[in-house]
Homo-oligomer: A and B are copies of this chain.
Amino acid sequence: MALNTIMRIFQPKDRVFYTLFEQVVDTVLEMSDMLKRLIIETERDKRFAILSEIENAEHKNDDTTHRIYTELGRTFITPFDREDIHYLATTLDDVADYIYSSAKRMAFYNIANDDEGIIKLANLIGFAVQELKTAVTGLRNMRDLQAMTTALVKINSIENQADDIYDLSIERLFEMEQDVKMLIKKREVYHAMETATDKCEDAGNAIESIIVKYA
């Protein structure tokens, strides 16, 4: 019997969910750091090497998310409402997917490493995921609700900033970019990145829903 099987049996069911969610948010945070490195990288080979790291992290995260769903199916008593756990798992997985998708497009489309909008959006994704880590980690003890709520408010504000940068970037793109193929490619990258921040906000809403019921 493997050690982790024994641990799983003796670990109270609640803690399994906390541990899995903390693993997810840690992986997503690593992915957002890798994305920041990838977009300022100039060499094509190095970009694809980072993309490969991001892909591995994304696969790892798929497995952890899948375990959350499986536990949810098996466990009768859950620490929070089942729908909230399910929605939080789904939205955090979406954040990972859109980070991976942004990275893939940057690499495959060979997009320049000096696009102001892309750099700003990558930083905003990083900030939002950092706040998500605070909020997700707070679920375990539910002691510092103030810190959790502050994190959620920040995520909302970050998402608004990302919206504005997206709108401005798209407007500038249509004005300045003469190569229509590059316009289409960059628009895809902006869109994937902006959607990543949307999904951070959705994950924040899932946590808020948990806090509201708990308080």
Residues of A with Cβ closer than 8 Å to B? 69-70, 73-74, 83, 104, 108-109, 167, 170-171, 174, 180-181, 183-185, 187, 205, 209, 212-213
Contacts and interface: CB of A to CB of B under 8 A. Distances in A.
Contacts of A185: 174
Given A167-B108, A180-B180, A181-B180, A69 B209 contact: yes
A167 to B, nearest CB: 7
- Number of identical protomers: 3
A17 to B, nearest CB: 16
Chain A contact surface mostly: helix
16 contacts: A70-B212, A73-B209, A73-B212, A73-B213, A74-B213, A83-B83, A108-B170, A108-B171, A109-B174, A174-B181, A174-B185, A180-B181, A180-B184, A181-B183, A184-B184, A184-B187
Contacts of A209: 69, 73
A67 to B, nearest CB: 11
Nearest to A69: B209
A187 B109 CA distance: 14
A44 to B, nearest CB: 13
Contacts of A74: 212-213
Contacts of A171: 108
A197 to B, nearest CB: 15
A20 to B, nearest CB: 15
B73 A167 contact: no
A69 B202 CA distance: 13
Given A69-B205, A180-B184, 5 more contacts: A69-B212, A70-B212, A108-B167, A108-B171, A184-B184
A108 B167 CA distance: 9
Contacts of A167: 104, 108
A203 to B, nearest CB: 14
B181 A184 contact: no
Contacts of A104: 167
A63 to B, nearest CB: 12
A70 B212 CA distance: 7
